[in-house]
A = this chain, B = another copy of it.
Amino acid sequence: MKQVNIALYKTSIVIGASKLKQVLWYFTNVLILKNSFLPGTGIRVFFLRIFGARVGRGVVIKPSVNIKFPWKLVIGEYSWIGEKVWIDNLVEVTIGNSVCISQGALLLTGNHNYKKISFDLMTAPIILEDGVWIGAFAIVCPGISCGTHAVLSVGSVATKNLEPYRVYKGNPAIKVSERIIE
């Protein structure tokens, strides 16, 4: 059978920022975003905007957050990014209004083509529509769209698109109930 040879791997990703900007962000991410010291939200939102993220008013960003490329990030109004959330946005991640991403959740946009000898990188954007709740330590896989007000339960893994106003649970996540808002 054929074998993978990672020495043949080449990344084809379009980063979309100068080398200088990348390096500056690398250290800003470590010093400001990943930092577990800095309470509050303002300084993190400030630096995200400086580096090109579109962040609406009322957004809360907790300490110890990890964001790959802020210039590929859009966050609407009054959304929350919890402690230790990791937005690994090699490509665009779009987060709507009143979205809650709870602590430790992971948004993944990168995958590998494990059917290729060269183990090529594959990327796909993530969309979280208004009112979505991603539970603590849940994982959203590359290319997933979460319809408005979908809920992904704690520790669950979304490998398929989530329908609006539905609750999903498990690994892989399956639909378990409706979300009816009073």
Contacts and interface: CB of A to CB of B under 8 A. Distances in A.
Interface string A30-41: 100010110100
Nearest to A142: B154
A119 B77 CA distance: 15
Interface in A140-182: 141, 148-149, 151, 153-157, 159, 165, 167, 169-172, 179-182
A114 B80 CA distance: 14
A92 to B, nearest CB: 19
B157 A133 contact: no
Nearest to A117: B181
A14 interface: no
Contact of A171 (B58, B104, B149, B170): B170
A104 B106 contact: yes
B141 A114 contact: no
Interface of A: 1-7, 26-27, 30, 34, 36-37, 39, 58, 77-80, 86, 88, 97-98, 100, 103-104, 106, 108, 112, 114-117, 119, 130-131, 133, 136-137, 139, 141, 148-149, 151, 153-157, 159, 165, 167, 169-172, 179-182
